[in-house]
Structure 1
Amino acid sequence: MKLFSCQSCGQVLFFENTHCESCGHRLGYCTESSRLLALEPAADGNGWLAVGEGIEAPTRFFCTNAEYDVCNWLVPEGSTDALCVACRYNHVIPDLNKEGNQELWRRLEQAKHRLFYSLLLLHLPMPTRAENPTGGLVFNFPDDPENGEGKVMTGHDEGVITIALREADDVEREKMRVEMGEHYRTLLGHFRHEVGHFYWNILVRDAGNEDACRAMFGDHTQDYGAALQRHYENGPPAGWPENYVSSYATTHPWEDFAETWAHYLHVVDTLQTAVAFGVAVSPAVAKDGSLSQSFNFDTYAATSFDQLLAAWPPLTLAVNALNRSMGQADLYPFVITPAIAKKLHFVHNLIHGLPLTAVAAVPQ
């Protein structure tokens, strides 16, 4: 994620900011320019004008969901849609008459908007349900039934991504993380994982890349339900960390792909944050320079996977050590082995339209 600055006063701004804390200007994220704009009301009171763009600048309008304080994005110029690029994909939102649900929805939207920030920068296709009625992207955020009969399951089904509302409750999510023996469970992680399933459909199945993906991740035609049951009954196979980025990735090739996809987005976006802050890692004790790294490249536009891969270990070692110094768990509790790196490389090439045959297959 980038850092932003106020066009009015130069104050440093962050992605979710709605007002500049220094000069008070209203802020809105512009998807066309990937900028957080400082805004002032239009003279006729209808819409907003970006500070410093001149009298010929277009009038801007906020997404309708801004009135619920869950979105700070602007509707694209010339659009007749009342919703921003991210919110127009919503289908089911929480019941806002129920106390606390608006705050839970805000947390979901913050994570979802960060997901869309990445998808837009990577220029990935995002067909809507109107464009593709049987496979277009759509989001549901339902609450569990009040009668206690079952719970909503987070997952993906032919473009429909469901994130259970309780996942936005930090206590509930931590409880589930511990019960399921996971090192890592976050809202943003859920979004990145589930959209990985969507892109398996779009970039693998529908693009004729199933054979290449099978060579990398295994045979996806095996029974998914049986594989899931086997995983929960027996756990991951011995030695799994050598070939899989998480234990859940061992469940089925679809889950391996989705977990790898999520981790690729973790890498690219976190490295962009390091670039934005001018981070450099150069521990004096590593006299061979193996952990020295400066972060000064466009991570989203990087066509060289090796550049991303070289930068990632020094950064994660540093931030994990910082977390431990604060008594916190590792920020990135995973290890990128050579086999996992090949899978990440495959996802990188898939996203950037590079030859998939350039990545050697990993034995399963």
Structure 2
Amino acid sequence: MRPFACPNCRRLNHFEVRVCPDCSATLGYDPGIDRFRFLADQGTVWRDREGAAADLVVCANNNAYGICNWLTTPEADGGMCRACRHNRTIPDLNDPAVPPLWAKVEEAKRRLFHTLIRLGLPLETKAEERDGVQGLAFDFLHAGDGATGGTKIITGHDEGLITLDVSEADDAHREQVRLAMGEPYRTLLGHFRHEVGHHYWSRLVATDPDRLEAFRALFGDERTDYAAALQAHYNGGAQPWTEDFVSSYATSHPWEDFAETFAHYLHIVDVLATARGFDLSLTAFGGSDGDGHVAVEFDPYRADAPALTAEMAPVSFAMNAVNRAMGQPDLYPFHLSDAIAAKLAFMQQMVADARAANSQAMAEHHQPEVMGVAS
């Protein structure tokens, strides 16, 4: 995503900022305008960079735990922001090692929600479930919690509920698991993007017969025994990783192929939105117009799949070159084959259709939440 200017002094800040390092203003992110506000008037009013006030309050998770930097409306259910309202379970914070891990988990989740909101995807909670509409919720657990009984916590998705072991926020633990599982690309944000992909398969594909048919033609038949497919994958009996799949894990089952590709779609959108936010353009390197500029109307959140893949090629080359200059492995070690590009196009069309339907539903019910926000 792009950098965010402090509305008080205009210093550029990262998305996780809570206090501006330059002017010391207290900052809060307002998803309705996709910008930060600052606490003005002796700390009583949230104002934007033009000085306009808004009737907003900090998320309840900020008041209780100092864990969130988003703002919400005073009447929000439980006082929770648009990201935190999806939490069903938080870890036991009595263990002093847990709060810092949970804080990292929430930072990654807020980045996920920023992208989902900008894409205009539906985001119902479990309390908002209804016939044909699956809500989204999160259980954040730690192996030492009494609720787990000391049993191993499996990160995964089940009917809209995403479970995550907050130990994944520990770099040493995650690296150990990454090596054991043979996963070259394992991050907290990657986990969230993958698991929410499973949610949107259930929410947007399984409920639409035409889209389900198109999914099967492209990804395969999801009715294949899932448990047996995963066992084969981890026992070395799965199909080989080819250019038709964005990762080795994607070869294990059509559901995993979808989730991995959905996560990759979010990777690409966010990387290009970040590059665009810094006014970085390499279109002339890999594009056809040769003028060296990204078109003004290019918006990664709305762009079609061919435009996304065309922009990603030169940007990823540059990112990898910078990493190599630092003696690091490639940041983006992927090749977008024609087969993968077709799957990304499926994702982009699915998102565009969902955005249109979601916008129409919100208009009909006069919902105040803004889905398409200022850039």
Deviation per CA, 1:185-239, whole angstroms, max 9, x where unpaired?
A: 000000000000000001101133211111110000011000000101125423x
Aligned residue in 2 for 1:4: 4
Q: Which runs of 5 or more residues in structure 1 are unaligned?
A: 355-364
User: Which deviates more, 314-323 or 112-121?
Assistant: 314-323
Q: Distance in 2 between matches of 1:81 and 1:236?
A: 46
Aligned residue in 1 for 2:264: 263
Amino acid at match of 1:142: L
User: Which deviates more, 290-299 or 96-105?
Assistant: 290-299
Give the secondary-structure state (helix, strand or coil) at the position aligned to 1:280.
coil
Give the secondary-structure state (helix, strand or coil) at the position aligned to 1:274.
helix
Q: Distance in 2 between matches of 1:312 and 1:288?
A: 10
- Aligned residues of 1:9 and 1:22 also touching (Cα < 8 A): yes
Taking a change above 3 Å as real, the CA distance of residues 158 and 51 of structure 1, as seen in their structure-2 partners, is: closer
Q: Distance in 2 between matches of 1:95 and 1:125?
A: 30
Amino acid at match of 1:121: R
Aligned residue in 2 for 1:139: 138
- Aligned residues of 2:281 and 2:293 also touching (Cα < 8 A): yes
Once the two structures are TM-superposed, the CA of residue 266 in structure 1 deviates from its matched residue by 0.2
Give the secondary-structure state (helix, strand or coil) at the position aligned to 1:141.
strand
Q: How many residues align?
A: 346
Once the two structures are TM-superposed, the CA of residue 252 in structure 1 deviates from its matched residue by 0.4
Deviation per CA, 1:124-149, whole angstroms, max 9, x where unpaired?
A: 01111111179311001111157985
- Aligned residues of 1:62 and 1:74 also touching (Cα < 8 A): yes
Give the secondary-structure state (helix, strand or coil) at the position aligned to 1:353.
helix
Q: Which runs of 5 or more residues in structure 2 are unaligned?
A: 355-375
Taking a change above 3 Å as real, the CA distance of residues 290 and 88 of structure 1, as seen in their structure-2 partners, is: same
Q: Distance in 1 between matches of 2:287 and 2:160?
A: 48
Q: Distance in 1 between matches of 2:169 and 2:23?
A: 32
Q: Distance in 2 between matches of 1:288 and 1:106?
A: 40
Once the two structures are TM-superposed, the CA of residue 242 in structure 1 deviates from its matched residue by 1.4
Q: Equivalent residues in 2 for 1:145-224 (5 A)?
A: 145=144, 150-208=151-209, 209-224=211-226
- The yes-or-no answer on 1:229 pairing with 2:231 is yes
- The yes-or-no answer on 1:89 pairing with 2:90 is no
Once the two structures are TM-superposed, the CA of residue 80 in structure 1 deviates from its matched residue by 5.0
User: Which deviates more, 125-134 or 213-222?
Assistant: 125-134
Taking a change above 3 Å as real, the CA distance of residues 200 and 146 of structure 1, as seen in their structure-2 partners, is: closer
Once the two structures are TM-superposed, the CA of residue 334 in structure 1 deviates from its matched residue by 1.7
Aligned residue in 2 for 1:27: 27
Q: Distance in 1 between matches of 2:287 and 2:217?
A: 37
Taking a change above 3 Å as real, the CA distance of residues 293 and 183 of structure 1, as seen in their structure-2 partners, is: farther
Taking a change above 3 Å as real, the CA distance of residues 289 and 106 of structure 1, as seen in their structure-2 partners, is: same
Normalised by the size of structure 2, how large is the TM-score? 0.86
Q: Distance in 2 between matches of 1:234 and 1:115?
A: 32
Q: Equivalent residues in 2 for 1:1-364 (5 A)?
A: 1-41=1-41, 47-51=44-48, 57-67=53-63, 68-76=65-73, 79=76, 81-132=78-129, 135-145=134-144, 150-208=151-209, 209-234=211-236, 236-238=238-240, 240-281=241-282, 294-295=293-294, 297-302=298-303, 304-353=304-353
- Aligned residues of 2:25 and 2:38 also touching (Cα < 8 A): yes
- Aligned residues of 1:4 and 1:35 also touching (Cα < 8 A): yes
Give the secondary-structure state (helix, strand or coil) at the position aligned to 1:163.
strand
Normalised by the size of structure 1, how large is the TM-score? 0.88
Q: Distance in 1 between matches of 2:5 and 2:204?
A: 35
Which of the pair has the greater relative contact order for Cα pairs under 8 Å at 6+ separation? 2
Once the two structures are TM-superposed, the CA of residue 76 in structure 1 deviates from its matched residue by 3.4
Q: Distance in 2 between matches of 1:228 and 1:111?
A: 27
Amino acid at match of 1:112: K
Q: Distance in 1 between matches of 2:291 and 2:231?
A: 44
Alignment RMSD, CA only? 2.5
Once the two structures are TM-superposed, the CA of residue 98 in structure 1 deviates from its matched residue by 0.3
Deviation per CA, 1:319-340, whole angstroms, max 9, x where unpaired?
A: 0121121121211122211111
- Aligned residues of 1:281 and 1:291 also touching (Cα < 8 A): no
Taking a change above 3 Å as real, the CA distance of residues 234 and 52 of structure 1, as seen in their structure-2 partners, is: closer
Amino acid at match of 1:206: T
Deviation per CA, 1:225-273, whole angstroms, max 9, x where unpaired?
A: 00000101125423x2311000000010000000000000000011000
Q: Distance in 1 between matches of 2:258 and 2:287?
A: 35
